[in-house]
């Protein structure tokens, strides 16, 4: 018996995640709420870290942990002030990035439910 297909495989593997994350960062680049939060001028390395994380989370290669160790995402976001406005801007950018990915309704709903939950858990300020 073969192992059940991971969500990563089900949605098309690396090209799907690469596309979503590239579109997301293209929006961040021009977003007046999100762009100032990113410490580096070049968003390329941040884009790679986020793609590796998502691929690993959904059952793809474990490159994120090989390179970055345990995700500890709340701790890694602590240096940035993330209130409801930043969370909403992040989710709005992500919704636009996911739209063209061609996911089935059920895959999109599963991905979206996770992202909303994760974005809520990253809020660290009520400013
Ligand atoms: C890193 C902002 C939500 C995953 C970062 C960075 C910023 C940021 C400014 C630093 C960029 C870098 O140098 O890597 C935000 C904001 C969010 C948010 C404003 C709004 C709620 C999320 C969510 C996830 C996520 C929901 C996961 C589903 C990551 C990852 C990194 C990262 C994996 C790189 C961590 C590392 O250093 O290895 N984020 N983020 N972020 N974010 Fe977020």
Residue 1 lies in a domain: no
Nearest ligand 1 atom, CA 71: 38
Whole-angstrom CA distances from 1 to 5, 24, 75, 94 are 12, 37, 40, 36
Specify the ligand 1 atom closest to the Cα of 64.
Answer: 38
Residue 84 domain flag: yes
Percent of the chain with pLDDT over 90: 95
pLDDT tens sequence across 32-77: 999 999 999 999 999 999 999 999 999 999 999 999 999 999 999 9
Q: Which CATH number covers residue 112?
A: 1.10.490.10
- Please tell me the distance from the alpha carbon of residue 97 to that of residue 54, in angstroms, as a whole number: 14
Is 81 part of any domain? yes
Using CA positions, which residue lies closest to atom 14 of ligand 1? 46
Give distance in angstroms: CA of 108 to centre of ligand 1.
20
The answer to whether residue 21 is domain-embedded is yes
Domain that holds residue 77: 9-122
Ligand 1: distance of its center to the CA of 12 in Å?
23
Does some domain include residue 3? no
Domain count, the chain: 1
Mean of pLDDT values over 9-35: 98
Question: Is 4 inside a domain boundary?
Answer: no
> What is the residue-wise DSSP string for 24-35?
HHHHHHT-TTTG
Does residue 83 register a pLDDT over 90? yes
Q: Work out the pLDDT band at 4, boundaries 50, 70, 90.
A: confident
The confidence score (pLDDT) of residue 1 equals 62
Which ipTM value was assigned to this complex? 0.97
Residue 127 located in a structural domain: no
C-beta of 25 in contact with ligand 1 (< 6 A): no
């Amino acid at each position: 018996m073969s192992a059940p297909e991971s969500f990563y495989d089900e949605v098309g593997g690396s090209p799907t995640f690469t596309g979503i994350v590239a579109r997301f960062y293209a929006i961040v680049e021009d977003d007046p709420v999100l762009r100032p939060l990113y410490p580096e001028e070049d968003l390329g390395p941040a884009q790679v870290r986020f793609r590796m994380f998502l691929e690993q989370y959904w059952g793809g290669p474990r490159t994120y942990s090989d390179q970055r160790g345990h995700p500890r995402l709340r701790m890694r976001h602590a240096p940035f002030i993330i209130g409801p406005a930043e969370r909403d801007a992040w989710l709005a950018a992500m919704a636009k990035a996911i739209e063209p990915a061609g996911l089935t309704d059920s895959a999109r709903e599963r991905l979206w439910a996770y992202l909303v939950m994760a974005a809520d858990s990253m809020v660290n300020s009520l400013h």
